[in-house]
Amino acid sequence: MAALLAAWLTFMLTMRVDLTEQTIVRSWLLGYKAVPISQITSLRWSGARGQTILSVAYGKPRRFILLSSIIVPTAKLLEIQNDILALRGLAGETLWPPMSTDVDIDKMLERKRE
């Protein structure tokens, strides 16, 4: 149990999120996950136990990375969402579906082309 707690604590204390024009990278002491912005298909907001979670879905088959407000402040998570939308050419577009916790980037791009 102590080893599990130590691993979790190490993960939480060393996790970082970096966003460039081409990738979003979630890294920690023992590794990283880089996701090309062009492969991101949707963003989903959720929450549990006082934290806010931004799920970034990408690729086919669909995979996810989770970004938590325990590590990154909620305002920064919102900035990350807005930056991803801007990098996909969707800055200022109405989110689709409206009034939802999900943002379907593929549908938004489809609607923009129409």
- Does 76 or 13 have the greater pLDDT score? 76
For residue 99, the model assigns a pLDDT of 79
For residue 52, the model assigns a pLDDT of 94
Residues in contact with 45: Cβ distance below 8 Å, sequence separation at least 6, in sequence order: 52, 53, 54, 55, 101, 102
For residue 29, the model assigns a pLDDT of 86
- Does 13 or 38 have the greater pLDDT score? 38
Average pLDDT rounded to a whole number, residues 70-98: 92
For residue 43, the model assigns a pLDDT of 96
Average pLDDT rounded to a whole number, residues 57-63: 93
CATH number (3.40.50.11540, 2.70.70.10, 1.10.8.60, 2.30.29.210) of 2-113 reads 2.30.29.210
Q: Please state at what angle helix 74-87 crosses helix 105-113, rounded to 10 degrees.
A: 40
